[in-house]
Amino acid sequence: MLLENMLEYNQKFVEGDESIEKSSLYPKKNAVVLTCMEPQLDSLLRNALNLQDGDVEVIKNAGAFVSDPYDSVMRSLLIAVYERRADEVFVIGHHDCWMKDFDPKATIERMGLQGVSEESIEDFSHNKDLSKWLRGYQEISDMVKTSVNTIVNHPLLPEDTPVHGLIIDPDSGKLDVIVYGF
Amino acid sequence: MLLENMLEYNQKFVEGDESIEKSSLYPKKNAVVLTCMEPQLDSLLRNALNLQDGDVEVIKNAGAFVSDPYDSVMRSLLIAVYERRADEVFVIGHHDCWMKDFDPKATIERMGLQGVSEESIEDFSHNKDLSKWLRGYQEISDMVKTSVNTIVNHPLLPEDTPVHGLIIDPDSGKLDVIVYGF
């Protein structure tokens, strides 16, 4: 159980001599990055893009995907732009993303196997098509473009905010520009 | 402009000898963490909680806040649990969070000053109360509890999934348990 390990480690840390290296409160590079939650991105962005601790605000979800202008990811992006000194927005997807060719039907089946009732699934689906809500994508560039479009066309984003769409390759570290935001 | 710097750095990285240290494709510690996008969290979780690169899936937004069961953050959490081997969920808020006592009215005013029209604000507000959508919180523990409740009570989460609510202090590194999920 990770919680117990974490608390044990934390207690030692707090009692120890190691001091906290305080990051800046605001992003040093005045930017916000929306990227994917996958673990392989953790060191990749630091090493291949030189995004060090404290450089940018980072928003993460499954696939760096935002399609709904009322989603909390969009809320976070707006807060970063208006209140957290981010004047450049980056959407960074990646090759070998788990969301590619993801089949929501298998997940819905798994929900049933793990004890979620037919009724719960139906209740949820009453407000939202579950397969569509969970869906992945076939082309990573399409997902990045969709996210960029939602952000760029958001009625509450200042019009002159550059929003870049990028794809990084976890094997080579190479970054490709899909949407050049300037 | 960060994009140009990033591309320049990346080109040198790709041409250089430095090899990519590949992280595992799945989270090594079988957990998913929802935390805040603020830069001060970047090194804090690594140092004070021993969450190293590749250990967990990390979802980030403004304040580690999820109140809507149809939000993409909730979608990402479900994908982490069903498809990405996360069998423990952590919501980690922090003291000195920028979202504390945040006044949405000032942000809405700033939108106007940065060229967003009255009409755009009204159109958006037709579907969602803008002040309520942007809102922060007064007590960090309330925000963590709200997020944990939304996740725990989500009809599609397996019932036996532990969801912990925690608050970390960026000054001391101390982690406090608000909701013990077992």
Q: For the segment A19-48, what is each residue's pLDDT rounded down to a tens digit?
A: 888 778 899 999 999 999 999 999 999 999
Q: Is residue B7 part of a domain?
A: no
In this prediction, residue A62 carries a pLDDT of 97
Q: Let me know: does B97 contact B170? Beta carbons within 8 Å.
A: no
Q: Do A57 and B39 touch (CB under 8 A)?
A: yes
Residue B110 in any domain: the answer is no
Q: Which of B1, B4, B5, B6 best probes binding to A when mutated, by most A CB atoms within 10 angstroms?
A: B6
Residue A177 tokens read as 């520009």
Using a CB-CB distance cutoff of 8 angstroms, which residues of chain A are in contact with residue B135? none
Q: What is the CATH number of the domain that holds B169?
A: 3.40.1050.10
Q: Are residues A160 and A81 in the same domain?
A: yes
Identify whether residues A35 and A84 lie together within a single domain: yes
Give every CB contact of residue B129 below 8 A, 6+ residues apart in sequence: none
Q: Which residues of A touch B28 (CB under 8 A)?
A: 39
How far apart CA A146 and CA A137 sit, in angstroms, is 11
Distance from CA of B16 to the nearest CA of A (A): 11
Q: For residue B178, which residues of chain A lie inside 8 Å, CB to CB?
A: none
- Shortest Cα distance from B128 to chain A (angstroms)? 8
Please list the ranges in chain B whose pLDDT falls under 70: none
Nearest chain B residue to A175 by CA: give it: B10
Q: How many structural domains does chain A have?
A: 2
Q: Are A116 and A86 within one domain?
A: no
> Is residue A63 one of the residues assigned to a domain?
yes
Mutation choice for A interface testing from B42, B67, B120 by most A CBs within 10 A:
B42
pLDDT for residue A21: 81
Q: What residues of A are designated binding site?
A: 36, 94, 97
Q: What is the 3-state secondary structure (H, E, C) of B47-113?
A: HHHCCCCCCCEEEEEHHHCCCCCCCHHHHHHHHHHHHCCCCCEEEEEECCCCCECCCHHHHHHHHHH
Of A83, A110, A92, nearest in space to A34 by CA: A92
- This model of the complex carries an ipTM of 0.96
In a domain, B153, yes or no: yes
The distance of B55 to chain A (nearest Cα, Å) reads 7
Asked, for residue B131, whether it belongs to a domain, the answer is no
Range of A118's domain? 102-135
| Predicted pLDDT of residue B19 | 83
Residues in B touching A47 (Cβ below 8 Å): 13, 18, 20-21
Question: Which chain A positions have a beta carbon within 8 Å of B50's beta carbon?
Answer: 5-6, 9, 13
Question: For residue B114, with 0-12 CB atoms within 10 Å meaning exposed, 13-18 middle and 19 or more buried, which class applies?
Answer: middle
Same domain, A70 and A90: yes
**Annotated binding residues of B for Zn(2+), as ranges?**
36, 94, 97
Query: Taking a C-beta distance cutoff of 8 angstroms, is the pair A63, A134 a contact?
Result: no
Q: A175–B65: do the CB atoms touch at under 8 Å?
A: no
Residues of chain B with pLDDT > 90: what percent? 94
Looking at residue B161, its amino acid is T
Distance to chain B for A141, nearest Cα, Å: 18
Look at residue B157 and tell me if it is in a domain. Answer: yes
Residue-level pLDDT at B116: 97
Binding-site positions of A for Zn(2+) read: 36, 94, 97
**Do B64 and B34 form a contact (C-beta atoms < 8 A)?**
yes
A126-163 pLDDT, tens digit per residue, is 999 999 999 999 999 999 999 999 999 999 999 999 99
**Residues of chain A above pLDDT 90, percent:** 94
